[in-house]
Every structure is written in structure tokens, then in C-alpha cells.
């Protein structure tokens, strides 16, 4: 039975897509069967795993808005054991188009039910907003993983994110859990980064992953080659830390 995990933070540029792609790929590398659902119109997870957006005929938009069976939209990626439900720019229309539709919050939930027994993990890469797409992701998921960038104002905006989390718990998905909080892009040369680590740990306590993701240039290069870090450079620090995170996620599930 797949564990379904949404990766969310309404702030842009905090490492959601980098984490979704590389955690999913690391679990696939460790032999798990993984599906990544791209739910951001930017489609960075899609292209980052070697799928050309120009060649995508149907994507997550068709699943959410036109109720296309999700099986018809699943594509192979550049990594063995990892499949992708792609997103393209047409997803940008979904927020508005879903507004007047019935059961709009449970479209993704309904779509993925039949996939549970086919994968070990299903990850959903959320957009930088708390609209219908994120609500769909939370309603479909067992848990939410929150990347937090080790920067000024790291905790800013997290109370709105947690409000949305509780709202979905109350109305649509009472079993939704907080999977964990991941500190990203730590710059080990400055004190600021470590101050943020302490602050986030004070707030989220044991929910913070032991693995901290440092800044690593290989992580930022890999997407332009359409590869995850385990394929682009398995010897890099970036691959080492995402594999470590994957093991932590596996242990948490035991």
C-alpha cells in the first residue's frame, strides 16, 4: 500500500520540487516503486525528470478538471522505478476552473485510490499557493512534508500553511498527518543558517528530520540535464543527503 505524501509550502523557492524529485528518486534508487505527481503549472518536476513538456499530451490538469483516468497520464521518467504524472502550463487554469465544480477538493483523492496497491510511495509536488491544488493534494495524502529554507523569515507563512492543513483535516481528511519538516539549502559558512535550524527545531521539535539539506551546486545543475541527483552525480553531497533522507522516511514508516 502506497504512502501518499504531499510536499508543500506556499513560499516559492524553498526546495519543494528539488526535494520531491530527489527524495522520490532516492527511494526508487533504493528499490521502491514510486510515483511523482507534479501539481505545479511550472512543471519543474516534470522536466527535471527528463520529460519534455512540449511532448506531453495529457497531464494532471486533465485528471483534475476533465476527470481523465490518471492511468492514462502516467509517464516513465529518466529514473528506473520512478513514474511521473506530468504538469504543463495548462494547469494554471485549474484554480479558477475548479472553483465551480462539485467535489472539487477530492478530485485527486478519487483519482489516486486505484493506484495505492501499485506503488510504495506517491509524492505530490505542490504549487506555491494554498488554493484548490494544494487542498486537493492534502485531501489525497496520508501526510504532508514541509521543506523550510534556512533563511531569514523561515517560519513566516507557516501558520497559514498549518491553518490550511487543519482545515483539510477538519473537513476532508481527518487522518492527515504531518510527515516532517525538512530544513533545506543550509549554508554552513554562516551563523544565520544554524540559528534558523534551532528556531525551527524549537517550534516543530521531533517532527524535524535529522537530515538537513545543505546548499549543493550539483542539486541545482541536475534538472537542466533532466535527471535526479542519483543519476546526475551519485557521489555528490546532494545525492548523499537525499539518500539519507530517504532512509529516514523509510524508518518513519516502520
Residues 6 or more apart whose CB falls under 8 angstroms from that of 126 comprise 6, 7, 8, 9, 16, 39, 40, 133, 134, 137
Output 33 or 215, the one with its CB closest to Mg ion: 215
- Pick from 171, 220, 247, 252: which binds ligand ADP (CB under 6 A)? 220
Q: Does 185 bind ligand ADP (CB under 6 A)?
A: yes
- Pick from 2, 5, 14, 130: which binds ligand ADP (CB under 6 A)? 14
Distance separating alpha carbons of residues 129 and 150, to the nearest angstrom: 20
Phi, psi values for residue 182, rounded to 5°: -110, 120
Distance separating alpha carbons of residues 212 and 196, to the nearest angstrom: 12
Exposed (0-12), middle (13-18) or buried (19+): which is 54, by Cβ within 10 Å? exposed
Q: Does 16 bind Mg ion (CB under 5 A)?
A: yes
Q: Does 196 bind ligand ADP (CB under 6 A)?
A: no
Q: Does 184 bind ligand ADP (CB under 6 A)?
A: yes
Output 192 or 226, the one with its CB closest to Mg ion: 226
Which part of the chain contacts ligand ADP (CB under 6 A), choosing from 80-88, 216-224, 228-236, 246-254?
216-224
Residues 6 or more apart whose CB falls under 8 angstroms from that of 200 comprise 148, 154, 155, 181, 183, 208
Q: Does 200 bind ligand ADP (CB under 6 A)?
A: no
The greatest distance separating any two alpha carbons of the chain, rounded to the nearest whole angstrom, comes to: 51
Output 92 or 192, the one with its CB closest to Mg ion: 92
- Pick from 3, 16, 79, 109: which binds ligand ADP (CB under 6 A)? 16
Question: Residues interacting with ligand ADP, by CB under 6 A?
Answer: 12-18, 44, 128, 184-185, 213, 215-216, 219-220
Amino acid at each position: 500500500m502506497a504512502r501518499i505524501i504531499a510536499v508543500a509550502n506556499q513560499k516559492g523557492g524553498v526546495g519543494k520540487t528539488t526535494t520531491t524529485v530527489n527524495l522520490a528518486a532516492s527511494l526508487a534508487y533504493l528499490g521502491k516503486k514510486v510515483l511523482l505527481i507534479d501539481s505545479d503549472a511550472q512543471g519543474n518536476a516534470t522536466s527535471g525528470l527528463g520529460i519534455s513538456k512540449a511532448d506531453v499530451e495529457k497531464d494532471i490538469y486533465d485528471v483534475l478538471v476533465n476527470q481523465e483516468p490518471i492511468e492514462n497520464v502516467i509517464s516513465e521518467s529518466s529514473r528506473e522505478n520512478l513514474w511521473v504524472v506530468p504538469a504543463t502550463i495548462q494547469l494554471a487554469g485549474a484554480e479558477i476552473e475548479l472553483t465551480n465544480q462539485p467535489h472539487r477538493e477530492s478530485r485527486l483523492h478519487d483519482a489516486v485510490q486505484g493506484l495505492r496497491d501499485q506503488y510504495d510511495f506517491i509524492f505530490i509536488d505542490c504549487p506555491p499557493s494554498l488554493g484548490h491544488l494544494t487542498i486537493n493534494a492534502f485531501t489525497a495524502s496520508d501526510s504532508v512534508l514541509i521543506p523550510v529554507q534556512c533563511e531569514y523569515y523561515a517560519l513566516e507563512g507557516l501558520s497559514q500553511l498549518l491553518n490550511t492543513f487543519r482545515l483539510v483535516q477538519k473537513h476532508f481528511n481527518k487522518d492527515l498527518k504531518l510527515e516532517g519538516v525538512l530544513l533545506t539549502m543550509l549554508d554552513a559558512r554562516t551563523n544565520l543558517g544554524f540559528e534558523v535550524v534551532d528556531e525551527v527545531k524549537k517550534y516543530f521539535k521531533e517532527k524535524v528530520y535529522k537530515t538537513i539539506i545543505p546548499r549543493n551546486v550539483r542539486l541545482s545543475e541536475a534538472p537542466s540535464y533532466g535527471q535526479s541527483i542519483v543519476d546526475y552525480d551519485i557521489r555528490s553531497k546532494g545525492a548523499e543527503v537525499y539518500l539519507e533522507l530517504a532512509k529516514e522516511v523509510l524508518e518513519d514508516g516502520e
